[in-house]
Amino acid sequence: MQHGFQRASLAPSGFAVDAVQVLADRVQILLRSRRSWGDCPACGGRSRRVQSRYRRRPADLPLGGRRVELSILTRRFWCDGVLCGRRIFCERFDDSVLGRYSRRTQRLETIVHHLGLALGGRPAASFADRLMIPVSKDTLLRVVRRRVTDHDDTLTVVGIDDFAFRRGQTYGTLVCDLERRRPVVLLPDRALNTSRAWLAEHPSISVVARDRGGGYGEAIARGLPNAQQVADRWHLMENSSRAFLDAVGKSMRQIRQAVGSNIVDPKLLTYAERLQYEGYLRRQETSEAIKELSKKGTSIRQIVRQTGHSRKVVRDVLRGQRFDVFRTRPSSLDSWLPWLNTRLDEGVRNALALWREMQAQGFPGQSGVVSQWAQRRRLAEKANQSGLARTPSARVIARLLTTARDDLAKSEAILVAAIEVNVPELVVARTVIGDFQSMIRSKTATKLDDWLQAAKLSLVSSFANGVGKDLAAVRNAIVSPWSNGQTEGQITRLKLVKRQMYGRAKLDLLQARLIGAP
Q: How confident is the model at residue 371 (pLDDT cuts 50, 70, 90)?
A: confident
Q: Note whether 210 and 161 are within 8 A (CB).
A: yes
Q: How confident is the model at residue 321 (pLDDT cuts 50, 70, 90)?
A: low
- The CA distances from residue 428 to 124, 421, 425, 434, in Å, are 57, 12, 5, 10
Q: What is the pLDDT of residues 443-490, one digit of tens each?
A: 999 999 999 999 999 999 999 999 999 999 999 999 999 999 999 999
Classify residue 325 by its DSSP letter. S
Mean predicted confidence (pLDDT) in 173-188: 92
User: Distance (Å, rounded) from C-alpha 42 to C-alpha 26?
Assistant: 37
pLDDT of residue 387: 41
Residues 6+ apart with CB under 8 A from 201: none
Q: SS3 letters for 88-140?
A: EEECCCCCCCCCCCCCECHHHHHHHHHHHHHHCCHHHHHHHHHCCCCCCHHHH
Q: Note whether 68 and 34 are within 8 A (CB).
A: no
pLDDT of residue 289: 84
pLDDT of residue 241: 94
Whether 153 has a pLDDT exceeding 90, the answer reads: no
Mean predicted confidence (pLDDT) in 7-30: 83
Mean predicted confidence (pLDDT) in 172-187: 92
Please report which helix (H) or strand (E) contains residue 380, including its range: helix 367-382
Mean predicted confidence (pLDDT) in 494-502: 85
Classify residue 45 by its DSSP letter. -
**What count of Cα atoms within 13 Å lies in the side-chain half-sphere of residue 345?**
7
Q: How confident is the model at residue 222 (pLDDT cuts 50, 70, 90)?
A: very high
111-115, 231-235, 371-375, 429-433: which range is least confident on average?
371-375
Q: Note whether 356 and 370 are within 8 A (CB).
A: no
Q: Note whether 69 and 22 are within 8 A (CB).
A: no
Q: How confident is the model at residue 388 (pLDDT cuts 50, 70, 90)?
A: very low
Q: Note whether 416 and 256 are within 8 A (CB).
A: no
pLDDT of residue 263: 53
Whether 424 has a pLDDT exceeding 80, the answer reads: yes
The pTM of this model reads: 0.66
pLDDT of residue 173: 93
Share of the chain above pLDDT 90, in %: 36
Whether 324 has a pLDDT exceeding 60, the answer reads: no
Paired strand residues for 63: 66
Whether 220 has a pLDDT exceeding 90, the answer reads: yes
58: number of Cβ within 10 Å = 23
346: number of Cβ within 10 Å = 8
Q: Note whether 450 and 467 are within 8 A (CB).
A: no
User: Distance (Å, rounded) from C-alpha 496 to C-alpha 116?
Assistant: 14
SS3 46: strand
Paired strand residues for 1: none
Q: Note whether 480 and 230 are within 8 A (CB).
A: yes
Can you list the positions of beta strands (E) in 213-256?
Answer: 228-231
pLDDT of residue 383: 53
Q: SS3 letters for 142-186?
A: HHHHHCCCCCCCCCCEEEEEEEEEECCCEEEEEEEECCCCEEEEE
User: Distance (Å, rounded) from C-alpha 362 to C-alpha 332?
Assistant: 12
Mean predicted confidence (pLDDT) in 317-344: 68
Q: What is the pLDDT of residues 55-103, one digit of tens each?
A: 999 999 998 888 999 999 999 999 988 888 889 999 999 888 998 888 9
Q: What is the pLDDT of residues 120-150, one digit of tens each?
A: 888 889 999 888 888 998 899 888 888 877 6
